[in-house]
Structure 1
Amino acid sequence: MSQQRTILLSHLRATHSVCVLGTKCLLDIYGSFPPGADSFTVQGSPGVHVCIVYNPEKIQAGPNTALWPLNRGAEVTVTTVVPSEHINDNKVKVVYYGGNGKVLLGSARLYLTSIALSLHVDTSRDGTVDIKNTSKASWTWGPYGHGAILLVNCDRDDADSQGTDNVDMEISSYADLKDMSCLSLKSQGPKTFFKTNKVLLHVSPSYSEKLRVFHRTATDIDYKHVLGSDTLFYEVEYDGEEEHTFYVEGLSFPDAGFSGLVYIGVTLLEVTEKGIPESPVFTEKVVFRMAPWIMTPNTLPPQEVFVCSLPENADFLEQISELAKSANCKLTVCSEVDSRKDRWIQDEMEFGYTEAPHKYFPVVFDSPRNRGLKDFPFTKILGPDFGYSTREPINEFDVTAMDSFGNLEVSPPVTVRGKAYPLGRILIGSVVLTNTGRRMTQVVRDFLYAQQVQAPVELYSDWLIVGHVDEFMTFVPAQNQKGFRLLLSSPTACYRLFQEKQKQGHGGAILLQGRDTHQKTIDDVLSDEKRRAESHYVQSCINWNRNILKKELGLTEQDIIDIPALFLMEHKKARAFFPNMVNMLVLGKRLGIPKPFGPIIDGKCCLEENVRSLLEPLGLHCTFIDDYVSYHQYDGNVHCGTNVRRVPFSFKWWNMDLHSHGIRGILSSL
């Protein structure tokens, strides 16, 4: 039973009211009864179930009698069995007695109209509306959970539209309709009843800007906007139909101050007498959860590679094209006109997706960096079944390099101290102390935390000049229990390798030969005490993150591979000395790794050979890509200059068990 209402009875005149199937009506038999009455009996017609609720320690019902003491110790409730065919065709009669039940003093009569009225949504999450959805007003996580789901309708199915589909109040096409969730209002009862009483669909002001509701007309052609966007109530007009179909459109992803839950209600208003305002006799609500935006890690199969065309990167483009072709990926090249000389396509956007039981589509999340590529995600990627979202701070001066999305990554699925994160965990670069240094702007961080399903971990990246997490870490697929390995940049590993080569008599081998006016030999690097001290500092910063990642991703040392790297310090910040090999493009088992131009020993780059020896046993194919002129000299490498759209997770986010996770994730940088 969804609710209970009270009906006041009177012995002076008959009462007419309505009872909705699935509800209990409490009869107030004490408000108006004949003077001197001390007991009563109650009877209902065949369509009414009458129930007496009492405390047997205080009230003793006599054997073989329906006579009850009138001492407020007994409650009378009634329910109806089937919808009425006619107005007032269900009857209840309360008879009052005095003289200890021996004298008939009067009676109260109730005429009930039984109505079926209910909202229905996809509570079982199988893509179809459930008729028997008793748990529709609550939402629970997990494989045995329940509750309907809304997609944020942020794609653009109408080619003539100037924005995403959720900015207008129209349904432009059948494709647009498929992005919405169905809501059904079913009713049964005498047709004349619905012509004289009101049925209102409604949403509270706090949710009105988060959704829109459209009513399908009888012609199945037009869809009328009826709720949301400042419209809080809609009176459903009845012309004999027993089912009304509505389509619900999500407008906003979860965010700060918005959990993602939205409620829609229906209320029946009864008209008692002409000139008297109608009164509510029944209300019911259903809940939807807005589907989150979900990031995809390197370990998911690639679908499409994005890269910018520049005057000086023709060779780079050719190498990326060959790599994408070998990985069976589509290649999309952003023209010089569209990029406006901005080469950092990884920093501009992050690909993810959103999903409901009935529909999935990718969504590009546009960063607030707003450089040359700022319009590319909106003008070139947004389209049919390809969504768009962004977050911009109020003050544009709050945006720093930390808000570029090279500073936004996600781990593969992990289990940490018994807690499963089947969609991985978001990783963002930040500072050690929150009152100093740079960190990702609050509006972006709020958005990422609010999605709930990829509980963020904050790392320390402010020690870098650019400040991005992809400068010291990445994930690659592996045939181990976890399904991946974490790669970390390591000055210590580089020094160890160079010391080994020096002992083998190769101290004179040149690093960055032909690529830098400040070429160094292995001997030069190992004898430079200032560089060694700087490398020790950099390694300590990476080790700080190493420990965070081990703790928050449940990793051991066996899950981590150290990739040789060297950094230079400028103004107390670090940048890569030679191309940073962890800043790679991962396309399944094929890796596009920045060519490090390491010391040539026996005709081969010793840095490349070292990395091959670490990664090829995992079944990975290493392709070293020359990005020195076009990217490295501008403080970025292959990963910074590319972007990848990937296959979504097969795991459904609503099946997560978040009861043990909490909803804010873990702030690991404090």
Structure 2
Amino acid sequence: MVLRRTLRVDVERVTRVVYVVGTELSINLNRSAPPSSKFFSVKSSSAVQCSIQPPPQETRLQSPLPFKGNLVMLISMSQASQSENESKLSVRYYGEKKEVLGNAILHLTAVEISLDVDADRDGKVERNNPNKNSWKWGKDGYGAILLVNCDTEQSYWKKPDLEKDSISKVSDLKDMSPMVLRTRGPAKLPEGYKLTMHISKSDAESIRVFRSGSSGDDDNTTSGSFLFNLFVETHPLVLGSNVLSEEVPYEGGDSKWNYYVEGLRFLDRDFDGSVRIHLSLLEPATRGIPDTPIFTDTVLFTVAPWIMTPNTLKPIEVFFCKTSDNNKVLQQVQKFVAEVGCKLRICPQYINRGDRWIQDQMEFGYVDSPHHGFPVVLDSPRDRELAEFPHTELLGPDFGYVTRTPGKEEVTKLDSFGNLEVSPPVTVNGKNYPFGRIIIGVAFPTAETGRNMTQVVQDFLRAQKVQDPVALFSDWLTVGHVDEFMTFVPAPDRKGFRLLLASPDAAYKLFKGLQNDGHGGARMFEGVKDVDPQSVDEILEDEDLQLQNNYVQNCIDWNRDVLKRELGLEDADIIDVPILFTTHDKKADAYYPDMVNMIVLGKDLAIPKPFGPKVNGVCALETEVRSLLEGLGLTCMFIDDFATYHIWHGELHCGSNVRREPFKEKWWNMVM
């Protein structure tokens, strides 16, 4: 739609105006016509195109035409002027006998002005894209994308770059979105006219804008080629929280200025991710009266969401803590990771200070745009010995950091990120979730009291849009984490994965089968220090244990139904893993090492060793799990974590963390 501007002209006076190519000037001829006007004619320079609405029968505007009705003249020009007041237009008014009553004269200076962004999402800034002020999801969509500048370019500066108000290295520019101001026209604007760039006060909380030192600088940045680790001397801050509007250069001729837009906020409950930057041409007014905007060009940016990575994506790096008592487990984990061919990063004791639960402290994700992307760690509200690890050890160049502070909200065990998982991609009732769905644990919906994940974290997760969260009931557990009863593993068929659910029913079925086959005397926990072995017969005879597990199975089945409904799963997509639980103070813990709480590295699984009853010298629980998983092409390695993890209400997944490759799919191509 062409931008139309109403212009007033006066008889016997020259009106000088700056015209922006691509717009229309609208002149109501009745308003400027002398009394008794019956005819009019129009003459103009060849560069000026004009038309009359409604159209007269006579197309030659140079000859007197009848002055009938409420006539409007539309004026446009196709190219910029070489000099000021270069083009002319005059309207002559006539009386009844075609005598001249007066002339309205217009002198025009045409300029081209555009504020440009990468609206077609190809990594380059195109000229005057018609969709630069809008957003559309999907592969045929459009709209520029903005990254939150939450990494740091300085190894000694342990704060995200967004907390600085200047650019110190060229490498920081790649975290920002390019924006270009293009102008074409005479050597200078007519006296008093000026260009200003401006943002709203609310958007100033979310973005900053920097400008290159001189016109034409940094052309290579729009193509993704950057000179790393060189200091930038002249990239002044143009717009921010303290500067909402600033005059910008006009150099004449065919010129351009490069700008860099920095994101300061992730999407959240009070921020939908949309920000706009405006460029206005101001017309001078008389003294004491503000200048008038006669043209405004606007671009829209949408902030990239934080995206989690599921177990089905390729692992890059495994994190594990070294403590005073876990040397044997660590050795087994090192062997497992080495065999997979993955990198292992060990957090030493002087950093973790005895806190082994690195899964609970943080969750890995990433941000992405057509011009750049990088991993971002989400730091949990959990405030224990590992609290500083994500910030001090991970934040760095091209490694971002984000957290949410609960304020007055109570932080519980449900705020640890063993209670935060994400499914592989799913389709639910025809709606595609190409990045899966986030899964969190909360209190039962009808519970008057109970533990919940803090609202600020839930709000943050929901605001990211592309991985619409699913809430499960996890408060029935002592620790309260969803990773205690579920996980996902890759599979070659169906949906490309299986959901593993802990199942007391499956455990009792297995134990009853052992008893029927004459193995009721086989004992669990043999060889485990300070734990009394329990026979299959004893477990099956324990009525109180059976009642406890009936309750646990009910809780898991409730979640099973939610997961089937919210992830579009069928029973064939779910594998029941035999796990028993015990309850204390109305909360449940795994009776033996919880095998669903595993480390998943592609097709290789590190599973807590369950110390189940042995049949012919082989653990029956391990045999059952192998039979369930190895047919999917998965490899199972059982690791003894009993003394250093299980007895402290956690397992291998709780004590590890995995950074994975991002999705190849682009989030902006998702159909919402």
**What is the TM-score when the length of structure 1 is the normalising length?**
0.95
Q: Is the 8 A contact 1:209 1:230 kept in 2?
A: no
Tell me if the contact between 1:98 and 1:104 (Cα under 8 Å) persists in the aligned partners: yes
Say what the alpha-carbon RMSD is for the aligned residues.
1.7
* Partners of 1:72 and 1:5 in 2: CA distance: 21
In the alignment, does 2:116 pair up with 1:98? Answer: no
1:274 to 1:114, Cα distance in 2 relative to 1, 3 A: farther
Letter in 2 for 1:91: K
Query: Given that residues 488 and 500 in structure 2 are in contact (C-alpha distance below 8 angstroms), is that contact kept between their aligned partners in structure 1?
Result: yes
Asked if 2 retains the 8 angstrom alpha-carbon contact of 1:205 and 1:230, the reply is no
Partner of 1:665: none
The C-alpha deviation readout for 1:207-241, integer Å capped at 9, x for no partner, is 10111110101276411011112310111133457
Q: Given the alignment of the two structures, is residue 77 of structure 1 paired with residue 74 of structure 2, yes or no?
A: yes
Residue number in structure 2 paired with 1:53: 53
Q: Is the 8 A contact 2:581 2:589 kept in 1?
A: yes
- 1:272 is displaced (CA, Å) by 5.2
Aligned amino acid, residue 438 of structure 1? R
Q: Tell me whether 1:325 sits opposite 2:325 in the alignment.
A: no
The answer to whether 1:264 aligns with 2:277 is yes
- 1:616 is aligned, of 630, 634, 638, to 630
What does residue 234 of structure 2 align with? 222
CA contact (8 A) 1:427 1:456 kept: yes
Letter in structure 1 aligned against 2:32 = S
Distance 2:303 2:434 in 1: 19
1:365 equivalent in alignment to 2:407: no
The 2-side partners of 1:304 and 1:189 are apart by: 54
The AA in structure 2 aligned to 1:630 is T
Q: Counterpart amino acid of 1:635?
A: H
Match of 1:186 among 162, 182, 196: 182
Offset at residue 91 of structure 1 (A): 1.4
> Given residue 250 of structure 2, which amino acid in structure 1 is its aligned partner?
Y
The secondary structure found in structure 1 opposite 2:333 is helix
Q: Which moved more, 1:40-49 or 1:347-356?
A: 40-49
Instruction: Kindly indicate whether residue 336 of structure 2 is the aligned counterpart of residue 336 of structure 1.
Output: no
Partner of 1:483: 496
Structure 2 CA distance, aligned partners of 1:567 and 1:531? 8
Aligned to 2:136: 140
1:452-480 residue CA offsets vs partner (Å, 9 max, x unmatched)? 01111111111111111100000000000
Q: 1:28 to 1:75 in 2, by over 3 A?
A: closer
Partner residue of 2:86 out of 85, 89, 92: 89
* C-alpha distance after superposition, 1:429-466 (max 9, x if no partner): 11222653111111100100010011111111111111
Partner Cα separation in structure 1 for residue 60 and residue 161 of structure 2: 68
- Corresponding residue of 1:525: 539
Q: Deviations over 1:265-296 (max 9, x none)?
A: 00011125677642111001000111110000
Secondary structure in structure 2 of the residue aligned to 1:545: helix
**Equivalents in 2 of 1:162, 1:640: separation in Å?**
27
Equivalent residue number for residue 258 of structure 2: 245
Where does residue 469 of structure 2 map in the other structure? 456
Q: Does 1:176 align with 2:172?
A: yes
Indicate if the aligned counterparts of 2:84 and 2:190 stay in contact, CA closer than 8 A: no
Which letter maps to 1:557? Answer: D
Report if aligned partners of 2:86, 2:107 keep a CA contact under 8 Å in 1: yes
- Residues 1:546 and 2:560 are matched in the alignment: yes
Among candidates 597, 604, 620, match of residue 606 of structure 1: 620
Give the Cα separation in 1 of the matches to 2:89 and 2:443: 72
Select 1:465's aligned residue among 478, 483, 494.
Answer: 478
- Indicate conservation of the 8 Å contact 1:346/1:643, yes or no: yes
Stretch of structure 1 that moved more, 1-10 or 412-421? 1-10
Amino acid corresponding to residue 423 of structure 1 in structure 2: F
CA distance in 2, matches of 1:340, 1:520: 35
What secondary structure sits across from 2:188 in the alignment?
helix
**Residue 465 to residue 354, structure 1, CA distance change in 2 (3 Å):** same
Could you tell me which residue of structure 2 aligns to residue 587 of structure 1?
Answer: 601
The answer as to 2:21 corresponding to 1:21 is yes
Relative distance call for 1:577 and 1:69 in structure 2 (3 A) is farther
Following superposition, the deviation at residue 545 of structure 1 comes to 0.8
CA contact (8 A) 1:143 1:655 kept: yes
Which AA in structure 2 matches 1:615? L
Q: How many residues align?
A: 652
Shift of 1:53: 2.2
> Could you tell me which amino acid in structure 1 is paired with residue 57 of structure 2?
A
Letter in structure 1 aligned against 2:658:
V
**1:31 partner SS:** helix
Residues 43 and 50 of structure 1 are in contact (CA less than 8 Å); yes or no, is this contact kept in structure 2? no
Change in 2 beyond 3 A, CA 1:550/1:68: farther
Q: Secondary structure at the match of 1:578?
A: coil
Shift of 1:506: 0.9
Structure 2 CA distance for partners of 1:6 and 1:64, relative to 1, 3 Å = closer
Q: Which amino acid aligns with 1:262?
A: V
The amino acid across from 2:473 in the alignment is Y
Residue 536, structure 1, aligned to residue 557, structure 2: no
Note the C-alpha offset of 1:382: 0.8
Amino acid at match of 2:53: V
* 1:420 and 2:417 aligned: no
Q: Percent identity?
A: 51
For the residue of structure 1 that corresponds to 2:367, the secondary structure is strand
Cα distance in 2, alignment partners of residues 403 and 638 from structure 1: 19
- Distance (Å, rounded) in 2 between the aligned partners of 1:532 and 1:33: 97
Structural mapping, 1:191-210, within 5 Å: 191-193=187-189, 196-210=192-206
Partner of 1:155: 151
Give the AA of the match of 1:559: D
| Aligned-partner SS, 1:193 | coil
Q: Secondary structure at the match of 1:255?
A: coil
Which secondary structure state, in structure 2, belongs to the residue aligned with residue 154 of structure 1?
coil
- The DSSP-based 3-state class of the residue aligned with 1:615 is helix
CA shift digits 1:576-602 (9 cap, x unpaired): 110100000000010000100111111
Structure 2 match to 1:625: 639
Any conservation in 1 of the 2:361–2:382 contact (CA below 8 Å)? yes
Partner of 2:203, secondary structure, is coil
User: Secondary structure of 1:622's match?
Assistant: strand
CA distance in 2, matches of 1:505, 1:72: 105
Q: Find the aligned partners of 1:416 and 1:43 in 2 and give their Cα distance.
A: 65
After TM superposition, give the deviation of residue 160 of structure 1 in Å. Answer: 2.9
Per-residue deviation, 1:195: 6.6
Aligned to 1:166: 162
Whether the 8 Å contact between 1:195 and 1:238 is mirrored in structure 2 is no
**8 Å contact kept, 1:564–1:607:** yes
Deviation digits for residues 370-428 of structure 1, max 9, x if unmatched? 11100000000111111100001112x51111110000000000111111100111011
Provide the secondary structure at the position in 2 that maps to 1:433: coil
**Which residue is equivalent to 1:667?**
none
Structure 1 residues 626 and 274: CA distance shift in structure 2, 3 A: same
In the alignment, is the contact (CA less than 8 A) between 1:194 and 1:238 conserved in 2?
Answer: no
| Whole-Å separation in 1 of the counterparts to 2:624 and 2:67 | 93
Kindly indicate whether the alpha-carbon contact (under 8 Å) linking 2:125 and 2:180 is maintained by their aligned counterparts in 1: yes
**The one of 396, 414, 428 aligned to 1:402:** 414
Deviations 1:491-541 (A, max 9, x none): 000000000000011111111223253432111111111111111111111
The gaps in structure 2 that reach 5 residues or longer are: 219-232
Confirm whether residue 647 of structure 1 aligns to residue 647 of structure 2. no
How big is each residue's C-alpha offset from its partner over 1:586-629, in whole Å with a ceiling of 9 and x where there is no partner? 00010000100111111000000000000001000000011111
Answer yes or no: is the 8 Å Cα contact 1:61–1:67 preserved in 2: no
- Whether contact under 8 Å (1:2, 1:284) holds in the other structure is no
Instruction: Indicate yes or no: 2:119 matched with 1:123.
Output: yes
Paired residues of 2:148 and 2:266 also in contact (CA < 8 A): yes
- Aligned partners of 1:27 and 1:160: how far apart in 2? 61
2:670 is equivalent to residue 656 of structure 1: yes
Output the CA distance in 1 between the equivalents of 2:65 and 2:562: 71
Unmatched segments (≥5 aa) in structure 1: 659-670
Structure 2 residue matching 1:11: 3-state secondary structure: coil
Task: Report the TM-score when normalising by structure 2.
Answer: 0.94
Q: Is this contact kept in 1: 2:208–2:263, CA < 8 A?
A: yes
| Residues 37-86 of structure 1 deviation map (CA, whole Å, 9 limit, x = unaligned) | 133232321111102222x7xxx635877655545533211111110111
